[in-house]
Amino acid sequence: MRRGFGPTCVAIVIAALGAVAHGAVPSVTKRGPSRSFGAPNQGRLENGVHLEPSAYLRFVGAYAEGDAHWGIRELVNAIDHAAREVHRRYPDAMLGVGQLSRKAGGEIDRHASHESGRDADLAFYLVDSLGNSVQRDHFFAIRPDGHASSDPRLRFDDGRNFALIAALANDPHAHVTHIFIATHLRTRLLAHAAKVGASPALRSRMAELLMQPHHALPHDDHFHVRVACPWSSQGCVENALVSSAAKKHPAPMVKAAKTTKVPKPPTKRLVRARSTGKAASMPRLAKPAAAAPLTPDEATALAIESGITP
């Protein structure tokens, strides 16, 4: 006997078709929590989620090969949500994505981190002289005046990039801990936030997240986003480890220069003795009468007067 679809099955199919029609195709294809082990620069990824291209998100051509677009669920969903939010406000906006991590994590070319599924490189939103969105196959370095160094016709779009950072900063599920970016672009984004009247809480959060990484090249051509360790990862290490080279060859300790005592100038009696060749006669001191023991303060004062440091 053939069985028909029940009301529950029909409802599920209709809901799924409606989601597809509205472009809300989830990028998460696996069940269960993602696990990040180790540090961003010495770790691995388990049960990661693959970021999928969509109508508002694409892979930058130079980073499309190699399939390094895996991450923990929280990171992948945060990127997808933020790109969709910018696209909602700016229908022509398309987020360019560089690399995240490999499927199992581990070392990845051209990166000092991106090993544990918690890092992602995102291209800047660029516009032309007319304000239209522009997509390119590589990242563009941006000068302090907001224009691309290699093509001044392209400009860093304050509005679109601010919307991206705001969406990442406010994501309720992924706790973003760092957004690495060059100092002059950090200043630009914070100024735009003040200009559009962003809330003090959002501006404070942006100021906390946006930073130029220490001991690294200026991040003037992309955002480097990092999220916190997920709750499901007991072996996850939040911050990058000190490189093995730094451990083996620590910075040398600089010894403080020794100070030499400056001799006191000779007394008049000693100068006269040197000039005549005869020892100067010193007056005989009377034997002091017995006195009460000195207090600690008196002893210290006496030592200082005698040139003796305690």
The mean per-residue pLDDT over the stretch 65-83 comes to 94
Pairing of strands 95-97, 126-127: unpaired
DSSP string, 53-69: -BTTEEE-GGGSTT---
Which has more pLDDT, 16 or 61? 61
Can you count the helices (H) and strands (E) in the chain?
A: 8, 13
| Whether 83 contacts 58, CB under 8 Å | no
Tally the C-alpha atoms within 13 A of residue 188's C-alpha that lie toward its C-beta.
20
For residue 70, report the phi and psi dihedrals to the nearest 5 degrees: -110, 150
pLDDT above 60 (res 68): yes
Q: How far apart are the first and last CA of the chain?
A: 105
d(CA 125, CA 189): 13
Record the tokens describing residue 304, joined without a space.
């200082």
| Whether 101 contacts 117, CB under 8 Å | yes
Contacts 24+ apart (CB under 8 A), 212-216: 212/180, 212/181, 212/182, 212/183, 212/186, 213/180, 216/112, 216/180
d(CA 200, CA 213): 24
Give pLDDT tens digits for 18-47.
443 444 444 444 468 889 999 888 889 999
Listed range (53-67, 103-117, 246-260) with the worst mean pLDDT: 246-260
Residue with tokens 């994501």: 171
pLDDT above 70 (res 296): no
DSSP state of 222: E
Give Cα 36 to chain centroid, integer Å: 18
pLDDT confidence of residue 298: 52
For residue 178, report the phi and psi dihedrals to the nearest 5 degrees: -145, 145
pLDDT above 50 (res 2): no
pLDDT confidence of residue 12: 42
Tally the C-alpha atoms within 13 A of residue 177's C-alpha that lie toward its C-beta.
14
Which has more pLDDT, 177 or 292? 177
* Distances 275 to 54, 270, 278, 279, 281 between C-alpha atoms, Å: 99, 9, 8, 10, 14
Average pLDDT, the chain: 78
pLDDT confidence of residue 103: 93
Give pLDDT tens digits for 194-224.
999 999 999 999 999 999 988 778 899 999 9
The mean per-residue pLDDT over the stretch 140-158 comes to 96
pTM of the model: 0.69
**How many beta carbons lie within 10 A of that of residue 292, not counting itself?**
5
Please compute Rg for the chain using Cα positions.
34
pLDDT above 90 (res 16): no
pLDDT category of residue 175 using cuts at 50, 70 and 90: very high
Q: Which amino acid is at 172?
A: P
List the 95-97 sheet strands across, edge first. 57-59, 95-97, 119-123, 222-227, 176-180, 210-211
For the chain, the structural domain boundaries read: 27-236
Listed range (207-216, 227-236, 262-271) with the worst mean pLDDT: 262-271
The mean per-residue pLDDT over the stretch 241-258 comes to 44
DSSP state of 39: E
pLDDT above 90 (res 256): no
Give Cα 235 to chain centroid, integer Å: 21
pLDDT category of residue 279 using cuts at 50, 70 and 90: very low
CATH 3.30.70.1450 fits 27-236, yes or no: no
